[in-house]
Structure 1
Amino acid sequence: MRVAIFYFLFASCTLYALWRGGAPERTIAISYFATWVLDRSVHYFTPAEYAEMDPGHLVIDFIIWLLFFVVAMRARRFWPLCLVSLQTIALVAHTAKFMDVTIVPRAYFVMQYATSFPVLITLAIGTYCHQRRLTIYGTDPSWRSSLSR
């Protein structure tokens, strides 16, 4: 049931962001979809046991963290910073498992995937706020003009 709820939320939030979001929302939605595709391919080649640190998921989590970080630094939005914080939890899970392999596999799993739902909900809220700003102000610039400002 949890998986079905996740897939429904995943499809709903990413499609909503692609349909109604600005450039940052669409970039995050496409990035998150690409992460899902990469995750499926990692599971195709290596089973999800969580008994030891998973280098495939570490690479995927770091790539998506980096993408979220770049969007957060460039976007004229606050919510991408929340995504960076949430994705940092997944990276901490890998670090914790690497440093202490006796961590219960279920705990490692939860630390990796617990942020998936909040990431999607944050994306949907960010898209909604973008639409609201468009309605109120008529415009909502997507990107900062310079990183130095």
Structure 2
Amino acid sequence: MALPILFWALTILCCTYGAVFGGRDGRMVAAIFIAGALLTIPAQILQESWNQVAWPVMIVDFAVLVGLYWVAMRTNRWWPLWVTGFHLIAMTSHLAVLVAPHFAARVYFGLATLWAVPMLLVILIGVARDRRFGITDHD
């Protein structure tokens, strides 16, 4: 129970900071991340087990990847590209299970969810560094 509370606290902290101080890119990445996290809840409910490919979660993750990629290719900042890269690593866990269907369920779940924390930290640190060095976008 403590992990979900910590995850949501970190999500709210980092995404709020990114949305308030990160300009257009921060708002877009924060919205995409929060939408993905919220949509993952019903997707995980639809998923009976992590012993096979979690198709509902994979679909949500793919949509998040497309959104993050779209932001990363239209910005002059480095941190959206890093957020996209970390999410791409998370997506490879789904592909690994497609290739090796006997992948351990706990490892699969861990790899699919682990990269959310570095993504959130990159949002926080990236926006803070942009502010420190006076990098702005054109809202």
Q: Distance in 2 between matches of 1:83 and 1:66?
A: 12
- When normalised by structure 2's length, the TM-score is 0.91
Map of 1:68 onto structure 2: 68
Give, in angstroms, the shift of residue 84 of structure 1: 1.6
Runs of 4+ aligned residues of structure 1 deviating over 4 Å after TM superposition are none
1:21 and 2:17 aligned: no
1:103 and 2:99 aligned: no
Q: Distance in 2 between matches of 1:132 and 1:117?
A: 22
Q: Distance in 1 between matches of 2:46 and 2:98?
A: 21
Identity %, equivalent residues = 23
Q: Distance in 2 between matches of 1:61 and 1:82?
A: 16
Query: In the superposition, relative to structure 1, how do residues 109 and 44 fare at CA in structure 2: closer, same or farther (>3 Å)?
Result: closer
Map of 2:80 onto structure 1: 80
Cα RMSD between the aligned structures? 1.6
Residues 1-149 of structure 1: matches in 2 within 5 Å?
A: 1-47=2-48, 49-134=49-134, 140-142=136-138
Larger radius of gyration: 1
Give, in angstroms, the shift of residue 80 of structure 1: 1.2
Which AA in structure 2 matches 1:21?
G
1:57-89 CA distance string (max 9 Å, x none)? 111111111111111110110111111211111
Query: How many pairs does the alignment contain?
Result: 138
Give, in angstroms, the shift of residue 102 of structure 1: 0.8
Structure 1, unaligned stretches of length 5 or more? 144-149
SS in 2 for 1:39: helix
